[in-house]
Amino acid sequence: MFSGAMVALITPFNNGQVDFDTLDELVEFHLKSGLDGIVPCGTTGESPTLSHPEHKQVIERVVNVVDGKVPVIAGTGSNSTAEAIELTAYAKKIGVDASLQVTPYYNKPTQEGFYQHFAAIAEEVDLPVVLYNIPGRCGAGMTAATIARLAKIENIVAVKEATGQLDISSDIANSCDLTILSGDDSLTLPICSVGGKGVISVVANVVPSDVKAMTDLILEGDFVSARKWHNKLFKLSRTMLSMATNPIPVKAAMAILGMASDEMRLPMTPLTSAQKEELRKLLADYGLSA
């Protein structure tokens, strides 16, 4: 159920407010592209700057537009276990298919703290859980041993691996049967080569069909053909996402392509004019233009 190409959806803004009309258009665009799932309110969706009511409204809007066509994996994590449980319970009530649970940020839990946090959420809310291991954002991350321990809980079904360390993906694959999803676009093919089953993708906001083409080939076992897509996507993914903190560059790219505004909320700030020109050339070289 949770494999293939899934988009880490941006949250569009207009004059400081969530732009729900554009959100609807983006979800429809991704449905038409054939993606295997939609993931609102993750890192790319700027969930830390959404109020709790906005967070819930975005998830509910996505669920309503998707209307059961593909799985919706809603970001409902928090550095507060109680808040994560409350958001996850709400998401279950409105019909999401799974929750994406980020490692608690700022707190820097011990490995036991990580275990107890995710176990409490999974046991409190009967909803499939995708763990999200991203130490670069959170100040700490889970070991493969902790993830394998969590895998014994029935409704913890997958992990989004965004450590940038291929050894961790290999360790997870060798120690449990969780579905491993790439959390780094440039590492999707390598992660899948050691047992991964897809990606929750930032670059799929811009080129969903291309990401889908690659993961379809991966799931068919045709890594030679998939590598051609990897090579095509690599420069776009790596260069765009190294320009500034996500989602600054992908929102800039979407603005250049006329897909959505590049508006964000502080403390996120736009690319410089020079960076935007570099990005415009990168998109044109890939074959994209407004």
Q: Which residues are catalytic?
A: 132, 160
Tokens 């046991």, located at residue: 123
Peptide bond into 247 cis (omega under 30): yes
Give start and end residues of each alpha helix (H) in the chain: 20-33, 52-66, 81-94, 111-124, 135-138, 144-150, 166-175, 188-193, 208-220, 223-242, 248-256, 273-286
- According to DSSP, the β-strands at 129-133 and 4-8 are unpaired
Q: Which of 252, 217, 251 is nearest to 233 (CA)?
A: 217
Q: Using an 8 Å Cβ cutoff, are 55 and 78 in contact?
A: no
Q: Using an 8 Å Cβ cutoff, are 71 and 36 in contact?
A: yes
User: Alpha carbon of 21 to those of 25, 77, 82, 267: distances in Å?
Assistant: 6, 25, 31, 24
